[in-house]
Homo-oligomer: A and B are copies of this chain.
Amino acid sequence: MAGQANKKADADTSPAGTDITDAVDFEIIELFFFAYRDFTSDPDVILEKRGFGRAHHRVLHFVDREPGMTVADLLDTLRITKQSLARVLKQLIDSGYIHQVAGPEDRRQRKLYTTKEGKTLARALAEPQSRRIAEALAKTGPGARDTIKRFLAGMKTAEEN
């Protein structure tokens, strides 16, 4: 009884039917909304102290996780525009959390790295989120982590390239 709800198909429009097809999964939709709402609010307290917002968090996070990534990589990951990124990135650089290095092959590129302070902040921001995840997984039961991973990966739009 697991994998059949995605059939939707049936063009019949059953007159007396209105069977499965119509079922919209409001329950998961809402749970997902509340889960993400609270998950993202965890680091807000820390960010506010530094005068940063969630946009800074995302940039710092990905640069920390993928050292040496370029501005173009970041734009692609975050799916925002150059100007939106420029603002927060500049602030992170000016504040000493991220630094740039001209690409060794292509010197037009700016490879991005977190500084020591950047790493510390990135870790501090990830920590409460990680704790929330660990607690939720623990409550869910053994083996949950693998299921969650697969589900979340499946929710992401597949990349073409």
When the two chains form their complex, are residues A2 and B138 in contact, meaning their CB atoms are under 8 A apart? yes
Chain B residues, CB < 8 A from A37: 79, 156
Best-surrounded residue of A1, A36, A126, A152 (most CB of chain B within 10 A): A152
Which B residues are CB-close (under 8 A) to A147?
A: 140-141, 144, 147-148
Judge whether A82 is part of the interface by a CB distance below 8 angstroms.
no
Q: Is the interface of A mostly helix, strand, loop or mixed?
A: helix
Q: Are A136 and B148 in contact (CB under 8 A)?
A: no
Copies of this chain, tallied across the complex: 2
CB of A145 closer than 8 Å to a CB of B: yes
Mask of A100-124 contacts with B, CB within 8 angstroms, 1/0? 0000000000000000000000010
Q: Does A3 contact B (CB under 8 A)?
A: yes
Q: Give residues 29-87 of A contacting B (CB, 8 Å).
A: 29-39, 41, 58, 61, 65, 79
Q: Interface size (A, Cβ < 8 Å)? A: 60
Candidates B30, B31, B126, B151; contact of A137 at CB < 8 Å: B151
- Quick one: which of B2, B8, B61, B145 contacts A143, CB cutoff 8 A? B2
A133 touches B29 (CB 8 A): yes
Q: Are B25 and A130 in contact (CB under 8 A)?
A: yes
Decide if A142 touches B29 in the complex (CB within 8 Å).
no
Closest to A32 in B: B152
A residues near B (Cβ < 8 Å) are 1-3, 5-6, 8, 23-39, 41, 58, 61, 65, 79, 123, 126-127, 129-157
